[in-house]
Structure 1
């Protein structure tokens, strides 16, 4: 479709009847969303490459393509987390398509703004009334682009924050930042400033500690709690975050007062934290998410409350305190991914370098590690992944869970791992006649509890696990589930016997 429009060829979108047909085809609700978004991105690309369009027509077409594709694009953003952990090819294709679409849309709006600035006064004045919509839609597209980047934990280029701040300041200068604006049909009115603030609050929510589904839920919750935030210019004691919209920097917690400039802004989430606490209490009392909160889909209470608690921590006046002091160091760490691979390694069934990756430890604490990793082709690193770890120079293995993940480059990542066990054992347990490969995380003591990690589908209520450990036999009964991941579940077990 791309690249065959020569200067002498009339672009299909230049014909009003053909453009209407193309846009209706994209917007068709019965069409596959991935295909629709792919087509929309392709038309944006071809439009950018064609210089024959006058500025008013170009702006009109970009706005209409955006509007035609927006429902499909939102649906893909909602559904993407479910594809994580399925076919890597399928998941990667969906991410590339959707991230690429928002990237194309951002570029299209930036191009419209640049052409407007370079236009003759008469041409510029003819489309000036559309600038608020362009500014608002551009910030909305940048927000979506950031979300898709966070689905893969970055990296976020400084230029992103520069573009975001520049368009916000343009709206401020035009005195349109706080005027009511309906970005899309069927959507409540908002303001350009609110769209900008939404992106800042999203970043302040530490998405590098959430899984993709939790990121989707968090974004929806941010929309709901946004009225409890405000963006101000004044230096006040209650300020928690600051950003200079003229600089290529993300919002930052206010440790000390930055250089005061006309483009400096502050925001805090104190009122939002109070609202979140009330919402959590209401959910626990009613056993459901309040009808007024639109999450885009039905989620279990147990999926929503942890995200609310996470948001409250991020927005609190004081940042979450580390429970253990960190010590800087640099050494290698051997890593294997997933319960099955860890079990093979601990049981001696995996030899040599099978499944091994080498990370570099940045810091260590009683609770875990910070490490740098070269991202492999498998690109398996996810929040909540269970890993086995062997520090350099040791022969013991540790069990941990990835709690933080930030891509620092195309093939580099910064990872935080919580240590679950420093003395794990691989066991072959009898679960009601079925052999189950499990990891014992604690040494059993009769009458006490011990944690075990099992395959996700292997935990059954009231079915005891029997297994030998050394010269003793153990019988453990399942109690509450502590944590679950894509391929595992960690649960407490009551130790009935160990002799």
Structure 2
């Protein structure tokens, strides 16, 4: 009996008893440092959860004001973690637990009030404030998920189940898109339940992109605004939607597989998002300041533009992949040589093309000044020059210093393969350059030719291990040279050193790759080229081995951070 009385009196003294009890308590802690303030607030919330405090309207009013009061201190605590990536391990673990447990308990205490039975009259009175409670719960779930991503962990399945339930509640009430400020003290922009839910979903979509803690946090800040460009639809439209979320599955966004008879599916289009990011990139490249574009005061330097381009490529890949049916994977165990970057891949593909071409190898063994003259005069090497007799030409091997240079490629262990690509595990410390949308050259044997692939998916499996999913773009690429009469001046073409493959590098000649491709069952000509060389309907002369064509650039198929893939229309073959 005495214990029950003590417990009763303790509940009356808790700051969450009412606003009247809360205000004096807040004055006592308002001058404490952020960590201490958060600790005190967390203690109150934890005690309420442990003692099953009364879920009255007075307690709810006190909780919402307490949460608002703690925001500035909590944000400072979070920023302390984000801005100190090299803090001692013990401090990092302590700070991580404080932040995550705080977010988890705040989501749980709000859940207590969401599930409470206030009676019909009081529930009607609380109806206007319920969307704010749902949104704050989603906000804390998003924080918890983000801190798991910082450690390369997946968000707990319980988190997804709760997030789906909260969004569904807002949807049923018809208040999912009602705008309001999440916190009176710190919020600058309005939000909604749908905005908080979409922010959670989109951050999860980029969580395995090998981003740093700072980059992931920056993306999360941008998504506070970008989430307003999107909306979830109940009805699927094949030419509009790219991803979906199942409100009954403990997971985030996924590829659309079923479209009929599933009432819990919600569909998402990425058109507006990718268009908005592309506009920001265009304005930044034109000289507009990041702050004026709403990217925040910390967004500056080339890193911001690089991150934006990475996101544009990643979400654009989602749009493209939504239309591709993957073939069945087969388990394998073999190694593959992998190199990256358009210039590097072009160089090795060209070496393959020359090795398998019909021209004698001796004709390519040294600098050919007739070919240089052809390039000055025509922009390409004429057939007459290529087919002349090899007599009188000295055979000289490429310099040993170039032949003996270290390999430019990494070796990956491939564990599964399909008609469309392969999957491999690799050590991140050996492949720090890996990114979704990266162009790869791949060969499965030293005597095999180089194939073209694109990194489509990355998943962190440990601190130093990542799984990469690669789409095979072409098994038979052809390296080509590009020249434009309207852009280039032949007299300015200069010759660089002989590459270790034995070919001449002409610095002013553009390089690209011809990729055979099919669109809707029809064969089309395409080029994989540098982004800077592309403009709609631009005309180039394309030299592929001993043939030269005039082509105009057509529609854009896909683009990466430094490459672009376009269809081409052949105008004529040059003599």
Q: Same fold (TM over 0.5)?
A: yes
Partner of 2:154: 155
Match of 1:293 in 2: 294
| Aligned twin of 1:318 | 320
Aligned to 2:267: 266
Q: Deviations over 1:449-492 (max 9, x none)?
A: 9xxxxxxxxxxxxxxxxxxxxxxxxxxxxxxxxxxxxxxxxxxx
> In the alignment, what sits opposite 1:132?
131
How far apart, in 2, do the equivalents of 1:23 and 1:175 lie?
Answer: 35
Contact 1:230 1:267 in 2 (8 A): yes
Q: Helix, strand or coil: the match of 1:286?
A: coil
CA distance in 2, matches of 1:382, 1:55: 57
Corresponding residue SS for 2:62: helix
CA contact (8 A) 1:270 1:315 kept: no
Match in the other structure for 2:170? 171
Cα displacement (A) at 1:203: 1.8
For the pair 1:39 / 2:40, whether they are aligned, the reply is yes
Q: Name the counterpart of 2:244.
A: 242
1:193 counterpart residue number: 194
Q: Which residue of 2 aligns with 1:453?
A: none
Q: CA deviation at 1:229?
A: 1.8
Task: State the match for 1:23 in structure 2.
Answer: 26
Tell me the secondary structure at the aligned position of residue 6 of structure 1: helix
How far 1:416 moved relative to its partner? 3.5
1:281 equivalent to 2:282? Answer yes
Paired residues of 2:208 and 2:460 also in contact (CA < 8 A): no
1:415 is aligned to 2:466: yes
The residue that corresponds to 1:305 in the other structure is: 305
- Residue 100 to residue 385, structure 1, CA distance change in 2 (3 Å): farther
User: Which segment is superposed worse, 222-231 or 130-139?
Assistant: 222-231
* 1:71 to partner: Cα distance: 2.1
What value does the CA root-mean-square deviation take over the aligned residues?
3.9
**What is the aligned partner in structure 1 of residue 220 from structure 2?**
219
User: CA distance change for structure 1 residues 52 and 149 in 2, over 3 Å: closer, same or farther?
Assistant: closer
Distance 1:53 1:288 in 2: 51
- Does the 8 A contact of 2:138 with 2:196 survive in 1? yes
Equivalence map 1:83-102=2 (5 Å): 83-102=84-103
For residue 191 of structure 1, report the CA deviation from its aligned partner.
Answer: 2.1
Distance in 1 separating the partners of 2:431 and 2:229: 29
Superposed CA offset, 1:256-305 (max 9, x none): 3345433321112112212212211222231741423143x423322212
| Alignment partners' CA distance in 2, 1:271 and 1:76 | 34
Aligned counterpart, 1:50: 51
> Does residue 6 of structure 1 match 2:7?
yes
Distance 1:75 1:170 in 2: 31
Partner residue in 1 for 2:180: 181
**CA apart distance, 1:308:** 0.9
By how many angstroms is 1:86 displaced? 2.2
Give 1:406's match in structure 2, choosing from 460, 464, 489: 460
* SS of corresponding position for 2:244: strand
Cα shift at 1:24: 4.4
Q: Hey, what's the Cα distance between the residues in 2 that align with 1:114 and 1:142? A: 17
* Unpaired stretches in structure 1, ≥5 consecutive residues: 333-359, 374-379, 387-402, 419-445, 450-499
Deviation at 1:241, TM superposition (A): 0.8
Does the aligned pair in 2 maintain the 1:56–1:126 contact within 8 Å? no
Task: Pick which of 219-228 and 209-218 moved more.
Answer: 219-228
SS of 1:243's equivalent?
Answer: strand
**Offset of residue 101 of structure 1:** 0.7
| Contact 1:7/1:50 (8 A) holds in 2 | no
8 Å Cα contact 1:283-1:301 kept in structure 2: no
Q: CA deviation at 1:105?
A: 0.6
SS of 2:292 mapped into structure 1: coil
Structure 2 regions of 5+ residues with no counterpart? Answer: 336-412, 435-456, 470-496, 501-575
Kept in 1: contact 2:236–2:259 (CA 8 A)? no
CA distance in 2, matches of 1:7, 1:78: 38
Distance 1:412 1:210, change over 3 A: closer
User: What secondary structure does 2:189 align onto?
Assistant: coil
CA contact (8 A) 1:133 1:183 kept: yes
Distance 1:172 1:214, change over 3 A: same
